[in-house]
A and B are shown apart, each in its own frame.
Chain A
Amino acid sequence: MNAPVTTTGVRAEPRRPGVRRRTSPRGALAAFLRGTAGAALLTLAFEVFARLELVDPRLLPPAGVILGEALRLLVDPAFLVEVWATLVAVLGGVALAAAIAVPLGVLIGSYRLAALGLTPIIDSLRSVPGIAIIPLLVLVMGQGVSMKVTIVAFVAVWPLLFNTVYGVRGVDPVAMETARAFRVPVHRTWWRVVLPSALPLVLTGLRLALATGLTVGIAAEIAVGTRDGVGYFILRASYAGFHADTVFAAVTLAGVLGYLMNGITVALTNRLVVWDGKGPS
């Protein structure tokens, strides 16, 4: 099994005490302005590239056109319905994955024998590229939401599982000894000591699971032509008389969706885990 990973795939390191960044409002504004400037620069480069017409403009519209179309889509109920469909499938799948992965992760992280026995099974299951099982799922479950939820759960379960396992293994032995010394029963120790202590890593797993779930959920929508979802919307706009601006706008908004899901999870983590890096790690 691999080390716990953050969204960037880096081994998660607990923040050192005291270095939790407190940016002043002015610093935050400056950072936001710089970021916006960077994004604007990238957009401008895209605009110039498209205007050069090295690629047929019917295929590669300029950035301005795409942004205009994106703004239109943002208030277009027909598009929002598809976003909702994707969101429901992704959130449902990740919830299902969490319901399986977190208890299983606590088990594997707590008992060496469980880890020994289950690791080979887990390793072989997770080696299968998630989307490879989509054709099978379609045959068994059809193309509806249950198929999407299942495939999202199948890929989202791994980051949650591994991060939970490492979170549980990382519980401070002194914290466990303290609980034992006060004769706290096992189930209460799990709830009050093990899970809170593993929470930062579990939430990192959740962040990764959401990103992977969205990726594979959209892949499923594109691959099998489900009847709804952002992926299906993109596929339809691509094949039914290619509306390049609509396609690019939808792709951009899919990116915004991923960005927002990531941002919301980070914000949630900061709210929930006020203690990270300040005590037992």
Chain B
Amino acid sequence: MTALQVSNLSKSYGEGNPALHNLSFEVREGELLSIVGPSGCGKTTLLKCVAGLVPATRGEVRVHGEEVSGVPEGLAVVFQDYGRSLFPWMKVGQNVEFPLETLRLPKAERQERVERSLAAVGLEGKHERYPWQLSGGMQQRVAIARALAYRPKVLLMDEPFASVDAQTRSGLEDLTRRVHLEFGMTILFVTHDIDESVYLADRLVVLRRSPGSVLAELVIELPRVRDQIVTKSLPAFVRQRSVVAQHIKDAS
């Protein structure tokens, strides 16, 4: 089953300024696909096209077979700038609940989803705090909880851990992996970090820059349940990381 299909996608901002050129790939149902590439390869643009936040210049994006024009249903985004994507005038609980109001869920169910998703990211009992009273890593967990509570079929993550420190980062990576298995949702994960892309992915797409296009695709041969230390010392991990690094180096 294909959850997400990108076909011949091109995007340019103004004349002669292509950001993406003729991109095609697909994400299967329940799969975690990493997109990795150097900065300036149009990763964020790609994600915004998929999310329907900006229209494509050519080509199309289909989510569960439906062509994307505007933001599709059943899709959630975790942005890199958690500080700007969480609303500072809403408490943590309100931030998580806010998108659920649009779904017109009864109050009790909204509450329950907020509880569950905050618990899933290890933030039980933080409802009444404001996001800016939490550390960066915790804020990004709130953003993830918000996406989880929304129960999306497809979750887009745009370099979500680029602005947190290294320790927090590995914790958040494990969290992502865990909720992916637990909630069984399809995830498109965009990053410029090669280790991260390999560690997280079931399958991986490498992009080249100017303009962004698909350089390579590979299936990651790692166990489903992973561990920062054990997995990262597996020969398969080391080999596939080198393959990706080589691709990126060759392209630049």
Contacts and interface: CB of A to CB of B under 8 A. Distances in A.
9 contacts: A172-B84, A175-B85, A177-B48, A181-B75, A182-B76, A193-B87, A196-B87, A275-B132, A280-B83
A199 B88 CA distance: 12
A185 B102 CA distance: 7
B133 to A, nearest CB: 9
B237 interface: no
B188 to A, nearest CB: 13
Contact of B73 (A175, A178, A183, A197): A183
Contacts, number: 71
Contact of A279 (B48, B79, B86, B150): B86
A181 B89 contact: no
Interface in B128-145: 130-132
A197 B89 contact: yes
A17 interface: yes
B195 interface: no
B88 A279 contact: yes
A278 B129 CA distance: 13
A95 B30 CA distance: 54
B238 interface: no
Nearest to B83: A279
A139 interface: no
Interface in A139-198: 172, 174-175, 177-178, 180-185, 188, 192-193, 196-197
B130 A274 contact: yes
A274 B129 CA distance: 12
Contacts of A185: 102
A251 B73 CA distance: 63
B85 A174 contact: yes
A180 B88 CA distance: 17
B220 interface: no
A178 B79 contact: yes
B79 A177 contact: yes
A174 B98 contact: no
B84 A180 contact: no
A227 to B, nearest CB: 44
B81 A279 contact: no
A180 B102 contact: no
Given A17-B132, A182-B102, A279-B131, A177 B87 contact: no
B163 to A, nearest CB: 13
B89 A178 contact: no
Contacts of B90: 192
Contact of B51 (A17, A181, A193): A181
Given A183-B102, A184-B98, A174 B132 contact: no
B53 interface: yes
A140 to B, nearest CB: 42
B102 A181 contact: no
B51 to A, nearest CB: 6
A280 B87 CA distance: 7
Contact of A182 (B81, B130, B131, B150): B150
Given A175-B87, A278-B88, A184 B102 contact: yes
Interface string B215-227: 0000000000000
A196 B101 CA distance: 17
Given A184-B99, A184-B102, A188-B101, A279 B75 contact: no
B98 A192 contact: yes
Contacts of B87: 175, 178, 192-193, 196-197, 279-280
A146 B101 CA distance: 42
Interface in A251-281: 273-275, 278-280
A197 B89 CA distance: 8
B79 A174 contact: yes
Given A174-B79, A181-B75, A280-B88, A275 B130 contact: yes
A178 B130 contact: no
Nearest to B77: A181
Contacts of B76: 181-182
B89 A275 contact: yes
By Cβ-Cβ distance, the 5 closest A-B pairs, closest first, are A279-B88, A182-B99, A275-B88, A278-B132, A174-B84
A39 to B, nearest CB: 37
